[in-house]
Amino acid sequence: MSETRYDVIAIGNAIVDVMAPCEDDLIEELSLNRGGMTLVDTERAEELYSAMGPAKEISGGSAANTLAGMAALGAQCAFIGQVADDQLGAVFSHDIHAVGIDFDTPRRAGNPPTARCLIFVTPDGERTMNTFLGASQFLPPAALDDEMIASAAILYLEGYLWDPEEPRSAMRRAIDVARAAGRKVAFTASESFVIDRHGDDFRALIEEGKIDILFVNEHELASLTGESDFEAGVAAIAGKVPVLVATRSAQGAIAVAHGERAEVAAEPIDKVIDTTGAGDLFAAGFLTGYAREESLERCLRMGAICAAEVISHYGARPEADLARLIDSKLG
């Protein structure tokens, strides 16, 4: 097998997060899906933006957040995603380059504009996300650099992006390129509603042996397997993927790899400020450990530490020195 240039190359939504604190009453007033992620059109996005208080803008998107965490831990990463040739597209490009991630997908001219996620954060730290997908839905297979994909040890795919036709085709092609090069394919289910819409596709990919590392939370696991009991869900799928990682929020996480099982508790934290990006940063810690051939338990601990850091402040990108944090806790 040829040498790798990247530890991970990811395909995902190129989104700018617009985040603002709010009181619980506003969630009800705007009829928002508290704690969930809802797709919105242009008109609804404008309505919600007008209702937000002072906001913070930072590049986001699930897979891009994971790469930001990995880059902070010293991993070599590249991102593939579609932005428009507009102001938020420039913001996204600047932010992702600034944290050391390679990103050279050409910007798309004209409408729709760059995607944005309007995030309302209530006093308990719960985030309610309203996503306008914009240009990110129009990532064509032609935008892929096959040589670049083949040069990464792991191809990481974001389930959210499976919905629109063009990026779904692009990801299918990327899977074929990665597998032909003997690389690993990691997949995050992203959200239960994505599984409700595309579960048959995901289950087919698993049955065909095209997914090497699967990330789910307990709700997504139930949607994917049809098993409401967590352990029954793990049993239903663990034998079908080489590595299964399942997170359970405050109850920690488990991983099953080639018959071996490891579990970790959630990392203690003084106060949850904002849960945005918790799963993304968990994946960042786990994948970095996995790429370095760390033990299964250490990979989980790295994930838990990264997730705890990101929920201790607003925003889905790490603010503390993750590498130093992990060294101080794990040695």
Instruction: Spell 221-256 as b/e; 16+ CB within 10 A means b.
Output: bbbbbebeebeebbeebbeebbbbbbbbeeeebbbb
153: part of which helix (H) or strand (E)?
Answer: strand 152-158
Is the CB of residue 108 less than 8 Å from the CB of residue 82? yes
d(CA 133, CA 69): 23
Listed residue (326, 290, 293) closest to 307, CA to CA:
326
Q: Which 3 state secondary structure label does DSSP give 262?
A: strand
Q: At what angle do helices 62-72 and 278-291 cross, to 10 degrees?
A: 50
Each domain of the chain, given as residue ranges in start order, spans: 6-13+61-112+134-330
Residues of the chain with pLDDT under 70: 1-2
pLDDT at 17: 87
Listed residue (283, 273, 268) closest to 159, CA to CA:
283
pLDDT at 62: 92
Residue 282 is which amino acid?
F
201: part of which helix (H) or strand (E)?
Answer: helix 192-207
CATH architecture of the domain with residue range 6-13+61-112+134-330: 3-Layer(aba) Sandwich (3.40)
Query: pLDDT tens digits, residue range 117-157?
Result: 999 999 988 889 898 999 999 999 999 999 999 999 999 99
Residue 212 is which amino acid?
D
pLDDT at 37: 84
For strand 6-11 and strand 152-158, is the pairing parallel, antiparallel, or unpaired? Answer: parallel
The strand pairing partners of 6, in sequence order, are: 152
104: part of which helix (H) or strand (E)?
Answer: none
